[in-house]
Amino acid sequence: MTPVAPAERFGHTSIEDLAVSAARAADDKKALDVLVLEVGAVLAITDYFVIASGKNPRQVKAIVDEVERVLSERYGAKPRSVEGRDARRWVLMDYGDFLVHVFQVDERQYYSLERLYSDVPVIGWRQGDSLGVSGS
């Protein structure tokens, strides 16, 4: 099977735009400390990480559900897999070209992905931010 280019899969929407949409969807559910990291240069399996935190299992579920809903309705994007949905401590949504990590606060502090990838660009995602590096 020939891989399908992202533009063909998502109607000419860039993977960065999809990751940003995921970040905004998480923010709409009051996720804490939402980040989009461009990890493609240091990690061969994906191009972007979206990282967000919820205060409790119910909020983690709401964030995950909203990201899934927004990406599906707007772009027809569905995760290849979702791990950790039942435990709701660290949910990993695999969209192939980007991964969405939704943590409970204490789990995020423990695993500290942003520290592990502190040398990669951080993508601006808030309304009004220009897409691109906002700092690292």
pLDDT at position 127 is 67
Domain residues for 52? 12-125
The residue-averaged pLDDT of 45-54 equals: 97
Start-to-end C-alpha separation, the chain: 37
Residue 136 lies in a domain: no
Q: Is residue 48 part of a domain?
A: yes
- Residue range 104-113: mean pLDDT, rounded: 96
Share of the chain above pLDDT 70, in %: 84
pLDDT in tens, 68-107: 999 999 999 999 999 999 999 999 999 999 999 999 999 9
pTM: 0.85
CATH code of residue 109: 3.30.460.10
**CA separation for the pair 56, 61 (Å, rounded):** 9
- List own/partner pairs for 6-14 with CB under 8 A and 24 or more apart: 6/97, 9/76, 9/77, 10/75, 10/76, 10/77, 11/75, 11/76, 13/75
- Is residue 135 a part of any domain in this protein? no
Amino acid at 106: D
Number of domains in the chain: 1
Q: Whole-angstrom Cα distance, residue 99 to residue 94? A: 5
Inside any domain, residue 70: yes
Please check whether residue 87 lies inside any domain of the structure. Answer: yes
